[in-house]
Amino acid sequence: MRLRCAVLDDFQGVAGDFGDWSALSGEVEVVSLREHLTGEDELAAALAAFDIVVTLRERVPFPASLLDRLPRLRLLVASGMRNTVIDYAAAEANGVTVCGTASSSAPPVELTWALLLGLARSVVRENQNLRSGGPWQSTVGADLHGRRLGLLGLGKIGGQVARVGLAFGMRVSAWSQNLTKERAEEVGVEPAPSKEDLLATSDFVSVHLALGDRTRGLLGPAEFALLKPTAYLVNTSRAAIVDQGALLAALHEGRIAGAGVDVFDLEPLPAGHPMRTAPRLLATPHLGYVSYANYTTYYGQAVENIRAFLAGSPLRQLP
């Protein structure tokens, strides 16, 4: 009997185009699931008949309570080499091997700048006006050159965002709880003396922190009160770092010029969710990792991981 593999959250139905799944023919039946599964009961019922699951990033949690309900599962492949929503101890206890894939930081860096530039030059609004016969030139763009870009986080992605900002002629500063003077000098940016100083002095603020106990809710009402009314906020990192209620209030009350967001507390974003219609918001449906190169890596290496597992020599095991 062939093994069965479920590919989760293949929203566009393209997973089959980015890996040589034919290499598994005869041994594995691959089923693409295009609708997001929500809730442990729905996941347990849908995945009960599968031996292998391929999951994207940290979209679907695999806690012990779920893994205990999947006695047939033997291999879990997650895109990326870091995943905080899989219970590795429970996976091991249930005889489930967990493997990851490589992942490029370039796509989220590029999307960060797409959102920032789109906000600064009102690209969506001007395009809609042009296509609908609206006013010719209805906005005045916010300049980047000479303005301050404040980065919350200066890791791999934050460092790349900083270098683009410097190329635009921006003054770039950064802050995080772990940022060292040496790291700031390496990238060529100014270390902000505090989070509060960075927020109060920046014209554009971009979030590039990992989600954890110290960063959850890092930007709340008090922090939004520090931002300039002409400032823009971009978040392509994790939604929970920014208090969503505080963000919505700031947008509706016009206390900031705008925000660019690619991540949400609930994904996919439900119909009628207030983030879908908030003013001054440029939002995308978590496209940060969704690129040709990343998908080629994710699904190509997922196939490699499955083949290696079947051969008894798993690749890229996590954690």
Q: Alpha carbon 220 to chain centroid distance?
A: 20
Q: CA distances (Å), 259 to each of 37, 165, 195, 235, in order?
A: 29, 17, 18, 8
CA distance 40 to 175: 37
Among the listed residues 267, 273, 280, 316, the single catalytic one is 267
CA distance 56 to 108: 15
The answer for 257, left when phi > 0, alpha when psi is -120 to 50, beta otherwise, is: alpha
Does the annotation count 238 as an active-site position?
yes
Among the listed residues 126, 148, 238, 304, the single catalytic one is 238
Does the annotation count 145 as an active-site position?
no
Beta strands in 153-283 (DSSP E): 171-175, 190-191, 204-207, 232-235, 258-261, 281-283
Does the annotation count 126 as an active-site position?
no
**Coil, helix or strand at residue 53:** strand
Nearest in space to 108 (alpha carbons), one of 267, 263, 281: 263
Catalytic center residues: 238, 267, 286
